[in-house]
Amino acid sequence: MCHVDTFDPKTIGDPRTNKPGSAYRSIPTAIPGVRVCQHLSRTAKLLDHGILLRTLNHPLKVDHADSTNLLKTGRRTSGTIIYPALGSLVSHQRGPRDPTVPPYVVVGYPNVTRGPGFLGSRYGYLYLTNPNAGPEFMKRPPDVDGIRLRRRKDLLRLLRAKEVTRSTADHSIREYNDAITEAQKLMDGSFAKTFDLTTEPGTTRERYGSAFGQRCLLARRLVESGVRFTEVAYDLNFRNGTGWDTHRHGQTAQYLLIQDLDHSLSALIEDLHLRGLLDETLIVVATEFGRPPDFDGQGGRGHQSAAFSAALFGGGLRTGQVIGATDDLGRSVVHRPISVPDFHATIMTALGMNAATELYDGDRPIPITDHGTAIRELFT
């Protein structure tokens, strides 16, 4: 996501003459003296609940997978350790708010960078891609009605009972059997209903808007049901062709994407605020790298990781601030750089975790962040 086109606007550039700079005008926000892109109008008004981190930086700017991995796990890939994603770390340290609910959910595609690494699959995530349908395995098949369901349960109960009697001492049978019981509880319980968006009023669904918005709405419901960490991936579905990776002609309709983000993000903030949940929910808006103020000769932008932005909302932090400053075109950090480990440490501290904890992979100690320190100014 290009920071100079969103949260860190600069003087206006011109793609046609290759003059570097922001592609859009900027507007004032609820933080005095702070401006954002004109297409973030709604979020701008809510910025008093937010914090702009304008000086994220890291050295990987070429490849998406590499950088995504760094942002998610806080470290580069190593041949000896598979680092867990932030969601798994949070899941490991805090668990879910409700023990019957999975602690870590991803609304997006499964990906090793989101995974639990050496912590093991217990701290993995449940994922779904379609907020209207829920995760693949939570919903009963549509052609299985009540009668069939009962029949299935009866037959299975018989088989299970038989097997348990036959192999009394066997751990594996017992464990799997217990897992079946737990699974049935999960399906029949209230968590499964979290995914049914049709119970939301139409006005709410409209206010959230597009596909991405529906994901945000689902995220709110997941928060309410007790999920500790939800990652919502941007569902590209071609608002502008290339999504956020605006090389070349992809830049042309980027503003549609920004407006989309604005629409849905502001809906989420307002909704949580209305329900009194904003103080205890931290919203993190992040990207794997930014994009330079320069245009690439065809109107788009390449990648830049020397300086880029992220945004935080709520979370009980001291909001209404901007941390860090970039130079006049947003190419480099001028004041207060924020490393990715610092970013992670901040999020963890906001969640009440100790950012200096050490985890263990076998007998090898692994600090939970790579020497990151939380941003002091955000905490009372």
Partner 1 sequence: MGISTVLTVTENPVSRALIFAPVQGHLYFNPLKSRGPAGEEGLLLALHTTSAEDRLKNAVWWICFMRILSRFRIILSTGLLLLASFSCTVCADEEQAIHLRFETAPQVQRGNYRAHGVLQATLSPGDLIVPPLQNRASGEFDGSSAIVYAVPGNTDGFAENFTWEGFFLSPATNTFQPETGIADRLLTQFAFAKGDWTRLAIGLVADDEGDPRLCVELEGFEGRSFGMGDQSFVADRWHHFALVHEGTAAAARIRWYLDYQLTGELFLGGQSDQNTLRPPGPAPFTIGARLKNGEQVNRGFHGFVDEIRMVPRPLTVSEFLRTDAALLQQTVSTDAMQAEHNKAFWDDRHRRAQEQAAQWTAERSASWSIDEYFDSSKPEIDDHAFLRRLSLAVRGRIPRVDEVTSFIADPRPDKRIGIIDQMLESDEWGDGWVGYWQDVLAENPSVVFPTLNNSGAFRQWIYESFRQNKPFDQFATELILMEKNSSHSETDDGPAGFGVATGNDAPMAMRSHVLMKAFAAVDLTCARCHDSPVDRFLQADLFQLAAYLKGGPLVIPNTSVAAVNRTHQQGVITTSLFTGQKIQPKGLSSHWLNKREDASSLRSVQPGPRAQLAALITSPHNRRFSDVFVNRMWKRFFGTGLVESVDQWNNFPGASHPELFHHLSTEFVTTGYNVKALARTIFRSRAWQRQRQRRRRMSGEQLVDSLFIAVGKDFRAETLGVHATDPGAVHLPQPHRAWQFASLPNERDRPALGMPVSQTIVNVMTAFGWSGSRQKPRSERELTTSSLQPLMLFNGLMSQRVTRLSEQSTVTQLCLRDISAAELVDNLFLTTVGRPPDQEERSKFTDVLRPGFDNRRTGQPARPIEPLSTFQPDWRKHLEAEQTRLMLDAQERVSRGEPPTVRLASDFRERVEDVLWALINSPEFVVIP
Residue closer to partner 1 (CB basis): 28 or 120: 120
For the bound state, the minimum distance from the C-beta of residue 293 to partner 1, rounded and expressed in Å, comes to: 19
Residue closer to partner 1 (CB basis): 199 or 363: 363
Tell me, by CB under 8 A, how many residues bind partner 1. Answer: 74
Residues between 156 and 185 with contacts to partner 1, criterion CB under 8 A:
156, 158-160, 162-164, 167, 169-173, 175-180, 182-183
Query: What track of x and - describes contact with partner 1 for positions 289 through 328 (by CB under 8 A)?
Result: --------x-------------------------------
Residues between 6 and 35 with contacts to partner 1, criterion CB under 8 A:
none
By CB under 8 A, residue 140 contacts partner 1: yes
The DSSP bridge pattern shows strands 229-232 and 358-361 to be unpaired
Q: Are 108 and 231 in contact (CB under 8 A)?
A: yes
Residue closer to partner 1 (CB basis): 83 or 343: 83
Binding part of the chain for partner 1, among 60-68, 85-93, 318-326, 327-335 by CB under 8 A, reads 60-68
Residue closer to partner 1 (CB basis): 41 or 111: 111
CA distance 100 to 103: 9
DSSP letters, 29-79, are -SSTT-EEEGGGHHHHHTGGGEEEEEEEE-S--S-HHHHHHHHHHSS---S
Residues between 83 and 102 with contacts to partner 1, criterion CB under 8 A:
none
Residues between 106 and 135 with contacts to partner 1, criterion CB under 8 A:
108-113, 115, 120-122, 126, 129
Residue closer to partner 1 (CB basis): 192 or 277: 192
User: What is the number of other CB atoms lying within 10 angstroms of the CB of residue 27?
Assistant: 15
For the bound state, the minimum distance from the C-beta of residue 233 to partner 1, rounded and expressed in Å, comes to: 4
Q: Are 235 and 218 in contact (CB under 8 A)?
A: no
Q: Bridge-partner residues for 123, per DSSP?
A: none
CA distance 105 to 285: 16
Residue closer to partner 1 (CB basis): 49 or 72: 72
For the bound state, the minimum distance from the C-beta of residue 102 to partner 1, rounded and expressed in Å, comes to: 8
Residues between 212 and 241 with contacts to partner 1, criterion CB under 8 A:
233-238, 241
By CB under 8 A, residue 363 contacts partner 1: yes
Query: What track of x and - describes contact with partner 1 for positions 244 through 263 (by CB under 8 A)?
Result: ------x-------------
Please tell me whether residue 156 adopts helix, strand or coil conformation: helix
Select the residue interacting with partner 1 from 76, 205, 273, 336 (CB under 8 A): 76
Q: How far does CA 144 lie from the centroid of its chain?
A: 34
Question: DSSP state, 249?
Answer: G
List own/partner pairs for 232-236 with CB under 8 A and 24 or more apart.
Answer: 232/107, 232/108, 233/106, 233/107, 233/108, 233/109, 234/261, 235/108, 235/129, 235/211
| H or E stretch at 285 | strand 282-285
Of 305, 360, 352, nearest to 84 (Cα)?
Answer: 360
By CB under 8 A, residue 80 contacts partner 1: yes
